[in-house]
Structure 1
């Protein structure tokens, strides 16, 4: 009999419920942002509207993948288990059941990478507008390659871990104890940093952890560099801009600050903790999926940040609501008008 203090099945409910909130909110606010982006709010943005559009769509895709795969994590001593109790797309074969989990890691890394691309764009917008040509036409392909490169870099090691025969055995008793399940019966990818017998380093697993963390460090480093450069140099750079353009840049900088804070709390810190714990080899057993499920909240937060800070979106929203309100009033008036009765001759 498993005691309630040992059983983590209740956390599975949480890690399924939070992504559902993230999915609904990401789709709802994402669609509103896309609508406003192409109905007036785009006037002063130029090609930046396409960057916002792509990032919003990718965020909605990420939230969708989250509720299809329902990924979860568990940290135990020198190991990290990445798993799901859902067989996505009906893939149940031993060689195919982990593909959705690997695909999730690709989308997760690509989303982080595209976030840093937003910062690069805004940096160029202020300090080197000539480089904005790289975001137009066929040259914009470079950013698709950029995001895909880091997506594959993430996914390759998870695919490698999916074929590691040693690591699942490391978690077999732990999974039975905590989740009352057989690790072979559901999609699961595991990584163990040290051999539990002799304590030797399992180098390919450690290298994989370092690689995944390095992807996050690169993206976060780009964001910090661009954000700090704009903080220290932007005031002098935009003082000769028009009043409206200067106001827009100031609003976009405020958006940057929030867009560093939000992913730090929902993306980078949780992911870093989950990935680095195996290297520390602590005597712990943590249902870290409660940290992983916070990822899906970020796309909605990003859409809200943009619409809340940038006044063009608020102005456009007011115009749209005014038109909708006027249409509703006119419709109700037309329904309440008395019907003319024509008498027969």
Structure 2
């Protein structure tokens, strides 16, 4: 049974609206409170813009993934049957954007690590760091596009004809642009071409995960061993746990669905709609990411609270609460100092 196309379109549109609102709000908060984040705010801005682009791309292309026996196909519903370069690159672009957030997070992990272990150097050489980051992303994107174009086809195996016909495609001329992965060819022999591309792509993703985990471990060690000013430590901890959350969400919403997509066809079962469900799950990440960042950083939460009080006319009450809290902290500090002196 097909998931209704209209439902998928409305679902992706809703996710895009949430992503646009959340990332737009995050950009405003970064502009308002970004001075405390230093150069890291530039990476956050790039990530927010990338999230908006990915959500808009998904809403426009309506990505589909159909699982068949010993393989699967990926295509953009709105443009797969067109001619020219754009339809060919659309399916490949979806596969690239699927993992692009995880690749960009590597840069975030490296910056957080260097900001703890080499703070002066990373500040003075930030342009060089950004150049290296852009080069890394360019290599990642180029490698993924090369692998995806190796799998791009204008014809699809016969087993997908019925399901594509239900989507409204005319397959009499076989003109449909898809990423086609068949683990076994027509003679039931291993398809070395397809399996090799999948293995290489999986190694690229493994490198991203491994680098991120190593950096996370080193950051945790640095936060444990390094002596930092109280406010600086608090901010580093907030950004670290926010980054862990950003890493965990792609693992749940992209890496696990990707593993399901490439593993289930090996069973030989034709689990048609499972791939579409995985694609729909993956589209949630760009909408959740900014909300996670806003909730994780206290400065952002405080600004949101200030705006909420301003809307309901409670600014004076909010300022009074802040003043009492500052007085309480000051009194506690003085009392502690007096006790230690005595």
The answer as to 2:97 corresponding to 1:72 is no
Q: How does 1:1-345 map to 2 (within 5 A)?
A: 7-8=1-2, 10-39=3-32, 41-87=33-79, 92-93=82-83, 96-130=86-120, 132-133=122-123, 136-163=126-153, 165=155, 168-175=156-163, 179=167, 181-183=169-171, 184=174, 186-197=176-187, 199-237=188-226, 240-278=227-265, 280-287=266-273, 288-321=275-308
Change (3 A) 1:99 1:160: same
- How large is the Cα RMSD of the aligned pairs? 2.8
CA distance in 1 between partners of 2:124 and 2:262 (Å) = 34
- The alpha carbon displacement at 1:180 in A equals 6.4
Higher relative contact order (CA 8 A, sep 6+): 1
Residues paired across the two proteins, number: 313
- The alpha carbon displacement at 1:321 in A equals 4.8
Query: Retained in 2: the 8 A contact 1:83–1:101?
Result: yes
Structure 2 alignment gaps of length 5 or more? 316-342
Change (3 A) 1:138 1:236: closer
Change (3 A) 1:276 1:14: farther
- The alpha carbon displacement at 1:51 in A equals 0.5
Change (3 A) 1:180 1:63: closer
Structure 1 alignment gaps of length 5 or more? 1-6, 329-345
CA distance in 1 between partners of 2:11 and 2:48 (Å) = 19
CA distance in 2 between partners of 1:164 and 1:203 (Å) = 20
The normalised TM-score by structure 1 is 0.81
- The alpha carbon displacement at 1:232 in A equals 4.1
